[in-house]
Chain A
């Protein structure tokens, strides 16, 4: 079965410090992995995706994620947090044969302190 676990429901950082949002996945098949961001009362915006090409994926707004098959992880990082990064972040997996059916993690709420 396919699943996604986001290890922290809430992460708080100070502005200008690094961000690490953790995600582990379980998939019997080669996965595609995504990170989406959701600002309050807004839709979801794609930050980045991994689809079996380079394992280090760069996304928008300075975010990046590294696919580590041996650790079944796809953690999201950013070197320096900005106040506008405060939002909820979802790690998402799909797989060959899923027909686009996405499996979402429960989300990590990121707070950024001034």
Chain B
């Protein structure tokens, strides 16, 4: 049973370009969460999605960031017009149900570097 998969593992972009990060949840999981980890910090919640729905985007920056989880295919975190401050590790997690006690399983992360 494959775990949460993320690609690419490393992504380099120049300022102003777009970054697309992909996340395939574990088999049977329909809830996806995105987190961002800045250097020397813990992970910060960004957005929670179910298939075709954004449930909670309270942690998403208001501009340039968007996320989707289509009926078919992986969840995508999209960052438009990247800036140096977007450089971070982005982690995706998935769970079978939503709830405070349900375990979230994390992918290996995508490390974004903005030049």
Contacts and interface: CB of A to CB of B under 8 A. Distances in A.
Interface stretch (B12-20, B41-49, B60-68): B41-49
B106 A101 contact: no
Given A90-B42, A106-B41, A95 B106 contact: no
Contact of B99 (A44, A100, A105): A100
Contact of A43 (B33, B98, B103, B108): B108
Given A100-B48, A106-B42, A43 B100 contact: no
Report which residue of B35, B42, B58, B109 has the largest number of chain A beta carbons within 10 angstroms of its beta carbon: B42
B42 A100 contact: no
Contact of A96 (B4, B100, B102, B106): B100
Contacts of A107: 41-42
A46 interface: yes
A97 to B, nearest CB: 7
A100 B91 contact: no
Contacts of B55: 99
A49 B103 contact: yes
B20 to A, nearest CB: 19
Interface in A11-66: 31-32, 34, 36, 41-46, 49, 51-52
A36 B98 contact: no
Contacts of A73: none
Interface of A: 31-32, 34, 36, 41-46, 49, 51-52, 90, 94-107
- Top 6 A-B residue pairs of the complex, sorted by shortest distance between their CB atoms: A104-B42, A51-B101, A43-B108, A44-B106, A94-B100, A32-B101
Given A94-B101, A104-B43, A107-B41, 17 more contacts: A31-B100, A32-B100, A36-B106, A41-B111, A43-B107, A43-B108, A44-B43, A44-B106, A52-B101, A100-B99, A100-B104, A101-B45, A101-B58, A104-B42, A105-B42, A106-B40, A106-B42
10 contacts: A32-B100, A42-B109, A46-B103, A51-B101, A96-B100, A102-B33, A102-B45, A102-B104, A104-B35, A106-B40
